[in-house]
Amino acid sequence: MHLVLKSLFATLVLSSAALAQTTAPATTPLALPAGNSANAPVPPPPAVTAKQYVLVDYQTGRVLAEQGGDERVPPASITKVMTSYVVAAERKAGKIKDGDLVTISENAWRHGGAVTDGSTSFLELNSQVPLGDLLKGMIIQSGNDASIAIAEHVAGSESTFAALMNQYAEKLGLKNSHFVNAHGLYDPEHYMSAHDIAELSRALIREFPEEYAHYSLKDYTWNEHTQRNRNILLWRDPSVDGIKTGHLSQAGYCLAASAKRGDTRLIAVVMNTAGEKVRADEAHALLNYGFRFFETHKVYEAMAPVSEVTLWHGEAAKAKLGLAQPVLVTLPRGAYARLAATMNVQKPLSAPLNKGQAVGTFKLALDGQTVYEAPLVALETYAEGGFFKRMSDSVWLWFDDGE
C-alpha cells in the first residue's frame, strides 16, 4: 500500500510540475494605500532656449519633460561624469585606490595643463598626486590635466580608458553615447544625449553616493590655485547638490543639475545654451517646474506586505509578498488616485521559498502607462511541508484554476 501511495504521489508531483511549467502568471490588481486624490492640471514645461533638454525623476528614470532628449551632441566637460563613474567602479572592484600616487605625464601636462587654454588643475609635469586629489580637481575645477592623468593611471592610456568608458556606457544602457577621451574636448566621434547624461547621473548617485558628494563642493585648492565650481546653482539653491557644467564652441554652454527636496530628487540637463547664466537659469527653471507640479509618493516601505497568496507544498498555507526596496514614484500632483497597481506571481507558488526570493513582478501604471516595475519577493522563509501535505496539495492543484 505504501508503495502504491508513493507511486501515486510521484505521479501527482510530476503532473503538477508540468502544470506549473505551462501555467502563465495571472495579472492580479492590488488595492493601494490611501493617498492624495485631488486632481490638478499640469501645464507644459517652461520655455527654454536650450536646443536639447530633459527633466528626469531620479527614482524611476521617468522623463517629466524633454526636447531632443535622445539627440547625439558634444557633451563637453560633462564627459567627466562618466570618467568619475568609471573610476568609482574600478575602485569598488579593488583595481585602484584614492591613495594611489599618479604621475603627471607630459601628455597630461601638455594637452590639459596650464600651458593650454582649457580648464586645468595646474598640475606640475612629472609630479605625483594622489588619485583622490586628482578626482576632486577634475570634478570641481574641471581639470583636463587631471582627467588625462586619471585615465592614464586607470587604463595605461587615454584611448584604452575611452574604450573602458564605452564598455561601462553599454552596461548602463546608454544608447546615444560614445567616448574617445576622458575630458570632453571636441571630437566628432565623441557624443552623448541629454537623456543619457541624466541616466548616467542617476547611476552615479545611486551606486556611488560617496563619489557624488564631491559634486556639491563649491571650490578646491591645489598648488596654491583656488578655483570655484562653475555650477552657480550650488550658491543659488541649497537643494542643488550637483552635477557638472560643460562648454565648447561646438557644444555651447551645458549643465546637468540635480536637486533634492523632501523625498523627491530631480535631474535637469540642458545642452547648447548661450551662456553660463542662461544654462543655470534654464536648468533651475526646469527643476522648479518639476518640484512645483510633480510630487513623490512612498507607496510601500521596503519589505512591507503587499499581498498574501496561496502557497502550495509548504508548511504555511499562505506566503506574504512585498518589495525589497521602498516603492517611490513621482507623479503629477493630484494624480495618485489614477495610479493602478498589479502583480504577476508565478503559478503555482510552491515551497520551499527563501526570504527575499523573487517570485513575480509588481507594477504601477498611470493612465495605462507603466511608471514603476520591480520584483515581488517573499517576505519570510517558507519551509516545505510534510509528505501528506505535499501529496494533498498536488491533488488539489489538479482542480485549482490558477487564480
Catalytic positions: 77, 80, 142
In single-letter form, the type of residue at position 158 comes to E
220: three-class secondary structure by DSSP: strand
Q: Where are the alpha helices (DSSP H) in 253-358?
A: 276-293
For 368, counting Cβ atoms within 10 Å of its Cβ (0-12 exposed, 13-18 middle, 19+ buried), the class is exposed
| Max Cα–Cα distance, the chain, nearest Å | 93
Say how many C-beta atoms besides its own lie within 10 A of residue 282's C-beta: 23
Q: What are the backbone dihedrals phi and psi of residue 125, each rounded to the nearest 5 degrees, phi first?
A: -55, 135
Q: Which three cell numbers stand for residue 359?
A: 517570485
Q: How far is CA 133 from CA 115, 123, 130, 146, 285, in A?
A: 20, 11, 5, 9, 33
Q: How far is CA 45 from CA 63, 261, 288, 294, in A?
A: 12, 19, 10, 12
Q: Which three cell numbers stand for residue 21?
A: 511549467
Name which of 142, 145, 144, 200 is nearest 170 in CA terms.
200
Give 269-295 as a 3 state SS string: EEEEECCHHHHHHHHHHHHHHHHHHEE
